[in-house]
A and B are shown apart, each in its own frame.
Chain A
Amino acid sequence: MPLFILRRVLQAVMVMLTVAFIAFLMFRFLGDPVNSIVSQDATQVEREQVRERLGLDDPLLVQYGRFVVDAARGDFGMSYRNARPVSALLAERFPATAELVLVAALMSLAIGIPFGIYTALRPRGVLSQALQIVSLIGISLPTFVTGILLILCFSVWLGWLPSFGRGEVVDIGWWSTGFLTASGLKALILPSFMLCIFQLTLIMRLVRAEMLEVMRTDYIKFARARGLKARAINFRHALKNTLIPVVTIFGLQLGGLIAFAIITETVFQWPGMGALFIQAVNFTDVPVMAAYLVLVSLIFVVINTSVDLLYNVIDPRLRTERKPATNAGI
């Protein structure tokens, strides 16, 4: 077990170093860093001085090492476009994205799991069939189209919910939260719903499939034979084993939510990191792009590693040494 943890953490560090290398290459070769610092009419000598001061003449590996150390300290230099430290820009935008993703993730669990259980226990019910059809439509529509439809319905026609921004926010230290005001909570509803639809249907279908599988196994039959109540069988025995794969998918999808937040933030003009990233892509603001890449990868890697480790805790059958996962095609 300690060996497994060590190997898993080492793997995570390797991935991060690779990502940092890609970010470093972008930083170093996409546009000349000197040009973004010196003025337009700087002489060749001045340019050389800046070049030397930045260490751009050192061997590539030394520069990469310096980049990694700086990145670990959270220093990604200045944004080309906003002329402010990238770390400050990201820190300012982070709470908005974090709250959006958190609410969307919780919503997908709170709606997806009960619906999944229901459709598995009553596969022929009218509501089950309706849910299946709605989920099919939900994943066929491009997410930004869903968002536009939500705005058209609830903001333009009904006028119930705001269509852009975070509403009123309260600052707690450096963290600005929308959870404490009525307008902040109202502003969260549409964007987080748009963001969670895909994951919601995924969790619903997963829970349904797993539940149907588990209900056929011997230990459930045995529980029935013992005369246990349906409620005890469904929730105490079956649900437990159903939720194991849900934990994995949920963890993996959490990273996806952060990426898809880019689209949601554009549709709802949500002042988060995704909107900042799109702006950076549009204007080739390399420091912001590189920092976003590293930050999002870090979140991904931390989530994936914890899910893997957590999996061992949840499922005792996996505690013996595992074979490495094989990657089949389709």
Chain B
Amino acid sequence: MATLAARLRSFTAGDLFYSFRRSRTTVLATTVLALMMLGALLAPLVAPHDPFDIASLSLLDSELPPAWMEGSNPAYWLGTDTQARDVFSSILYGLRISLFVGAASVLLAAVLGVFLGLVGGYFGGLLDAVIMRVADVLLSFPAILVALLINGVLRGILPAGQQESAALIVLVLSIGLTNWVQYARTVRGSTLVERQREYVQAARTIGVGSLRIMRAHILPNVLGPVLVIATINLGMAVLTEATLSFLGVGMPATMPSLGTLIRVGNEYLFSGIWWVVIFPSATLAILVLAVNLLGDWLRDALNPKLR
């Protein structure tokens, strides 16, 4: 316990925390992000209603406006949709899925990218050339197009009827397999530098195996920028998930993410119930903005050139 406390103290006394405290927008963005994550994580506990419990829904409560408007029910402070589901609760459950898909696909992209970059940079040769050419081709197309193509291919492989239940995995795969390029390029670049260093030469001289050198010696030294890329990438991933779901090839309406909520709400735009589309949209925009602000700050704070 003492070491943990000491670590915490050295962190709060360190440069990074100082620069964090100094930037008011970053503190605000982090607070908003933390609240959203907490709300999403504890959705079953904090949500005032369960939008998936059909028995508790009463059509009499459908299309209620938000609490500050006339004809509203204070129990549903952001109003209800056409099925009488509480908009606020739906957003919390939607956030849960959006954040999960975002985080899982970032993790997949980072693991894949770091692995390929490490292997390519360390061994070089044909393997490296193939990995980097694939990366170049992927990078020359907009991410959303690549994600859509992978999505289409995965749906084609799945047997019919499985597509809804596997939607979560399909999304994570299509976003993760699109975004690994940046990690691979960065890690490959630093690996090329590190493998020339004396400590790697020394390790090789005393007969340490290639895999062990990569894992134990090079990896810790090339991981620095990965954290920054991952943070910036999280915003992108959440946005891509929302876009795919909005386009109707992501999460199904039975298990809605923020993008699905916006797509479904969009269908009722002309019937005057604007709250079913505006509130999920605003949540998504604030979430992406908060992640991007945090990523920008982290990039600047960890950039030695700007110190």
Judge whether B288 and A329 touch: CB under 8 Å: no
Are A281 and B152 closer than 8 Å at their CB atoms?
Answer: yes
Sorting the interface of chain A by its residue count into under 10, 10 to 19, 20 to 34 or 35 or more gives: 35 or more
In the complex where A156-B270, A259-B144, A278-B249 touch, is A30 in contact with B153 (Cβ < 8 A)?
yes
> B144–A281 contact, CB under 8 A?
no
| Interface pair B185/A30, CB less than 8 Å apart | no
**Does chain B have a CB within 8 A of A38?**
no
Contact A330 B182 (CB under 8 A): yes
Give the residue name and chain of the B residue nearest to A26 (CB): B153
Is A142 an interface position by the 8 A CB rule? yes
Contact B186 A148 (CB under 8 A): no
Contact, CB under 8 Å: A144 / B243: yes
Q: Is the CB of A263 within 8 A of B247?
A: yes
Residue B38 at the A interface, CB < 8 A? no
The binding surface of chain B is classed by DSSP as helix
Which segment of B58-66, B78-86, B135-143 sits at the interface? B135-143
Chain A residue numbers with a CB within 8 Å of B149 are 281, 289, 293
Q: How far is the CA of A126 from the CA of B189 in the complex (A)?
A: 43
Picked from A18, A31, A143, A329, the residue with its CB within 8 Å of the CB of B182 is A329
Contact B186 A278 (CB under 8 A): no
Q: Kindly state whether residue B127 has any CB partner on chain A within 8 Å.
A: no
Interface residues in B149-189 (C-beta closer than 8 Å to A): 149, 151-153, 155-157, 182, 185-186, 189
Residues B243 and A15 in contact, CB atoms below 8 Å apart: no
A194 at the interface (CB under 8 A from B): no
Quick check: is A327 within 8 A (CB to CB) of the other chain?
Answer: yes
List of A residues within 8 angstroms of B151 by Cβ: 281
Cα A329 to Cα B151 with chains together (Å):
27
Is A260 an interface residue, CB under 8 A from the partner?
A: yes
CA–CA, A281 and B186, complex, Å: 32
Which among B157, B269, B285 is the interface contact of A142 at CB below 8 angstroms? Answer: B285
Q: Which residue of B lies closest to A145 (CB)?
A: B281
**B271 to chain A: closest residue by CB:** A156
Complex Cα spacing A277 to B144, Å = 13
Task: Judge whether A296 is part of the interface by a CB distance below 8 angstroms.
Answer: yes
User: What is the number of residues of chain B that contact chain A, defined by CB distance less than 8 Å?
Assistant: 44
Q: State the main secondary structure of chain A at its contact with B.
A: helix
* The one of A30, A141, A156, A277 that contacts B269, using a Cβ cutoff of 8 Å: A156
Residue A266, interface by CB 8 Å: yes
When A141-B285, A144-B262 are in contact, do A289 and B152 touch as well, CB less than 8 Å?
A: yes
Identity of the chain B residue whose Cβ is nearest the Cβ of A256 in the assembled complex: B142
Q: How far is the CB of A176 from chain B (nearest CB, A)?
A: 24
Residues of A within 8 A of B182 (CB): 329-330
Q: Does residue A291 face the partner (Cβ distance < 8 Å to B)?
A: no
Q: Which one, A15, A262, A293, contacts B247 given CB within 8 A?
A: A262
The verdict on A270 contacting chain B, using a C-beta distance below 8 Å, is no
Complex: A289 Cα to B182 Cα, angstroms? 26
* B225 and A277 contacting across the interface, CB-CB below 8 Å: no
Restricting to A138-153, which residues have a CB under 8 Å from any CB of B? 140-145, 148-149, 151-152
* Chain B positions within 8 Å of A230 at CB level: none
Contacts of A289 in B (CB 8 A): 149, 152
| Residue among A255, A328, A330 with the highest chain B CB neighbour number at 10 A | A330
State which of A142, A256, A267 has its C-beta within 8 Å of the C-beta of B284.
A142
Q: Which A108-131 residues have a C-beta within 8 angstroms of B?
A: none
Which of B152, B266, B272, B289 interacts with A284 by CB under 8 Å? B152
A141: nearest chain-B partner, CB-CB: B285
Given A140-B285, A262-B148, A282-B248, A329 contacting B225 (CB threshold 8 A): yes
Does B277 contact A148, Cβ atoms closer than 8 Å?
Answer: yes
| B100 CB–A CB distance under 8 Å | no
Asked if A284 contacts B141 (CB within 8 A), the reply is no
Q: Indicate if B93 sits at the interface (CB-CB under 8 A).
A: no
For the complex formed, measure the closest distance between the CB of A22 and the CB atoms of chain B, giving whole angstroms: 8
List the A residue with the shortest CB-CB distance to B152: A281
CB distance from A202 to the nearest CB of B (A): 13
A142 touches B141 (CB 8 A): no
Residue B246 is within 8 A (CB to CB) of chain A in the complex? yes
Contact indicator B142/A260 (Cβ below 8 Å)? yes
Which chain B residues border A282 with CB–CB below 8 Å? 155, 248-249
**Is A280's CB within 8 Å of the partner chain B?**
yes
Docked complex Cα distance between A80 and B142 (Å): 26
Residues on B with beta carbons closer than 8 Å to the beta carbon of A152:
269, 274, 277-278
Give Cα distance in the complex from A262 to B244, angstroms: 11
* Cβ of A86 under 8 Å from chain B: no
> B91: CB under 8 A from chain A?
no
A141 to B152, CA, bound (A): 26
Task: Provide the residues of chain A in CB contact with B289, threshold 8 Å.
Answer: 140
List, in ascending order, chain B residues with CB within 8 A of A140's CB: 285, 288-289, 292
Complex interface: chain A residues within 8 A of B270 (CB) = 156, 163
Given contacts A297-B141, A329-B189, 10 further A-B contacts (CB under 8 A): A30-B153, A142-B288, A149-B281, A156-B274, A255-B142, A263-B144, A278-B247, A278-B248, A280-B152, A330-B229
A positions within 8 Å CB-CB of B: 15, 18-19, 26, 30-31, 140-145, 148-149, 151-152, 156, 163, 255-256, 259-260, 262-263, 266-267, 277-278, 280-282, 284, 286, 289, 293, 296-297, 300, 304, 327-330
Chain B residues with CB under 8 Å of chain A are: 136-137, 140-142, 144-145, 148-149, 151-153, 155-157, 182, 185-186, 189, 225, 228-229, 239, 242-243, 246-249, 262, 266, 269-270, 272, 274, 277-278, 281, 284-285, 288-289, 292, 299
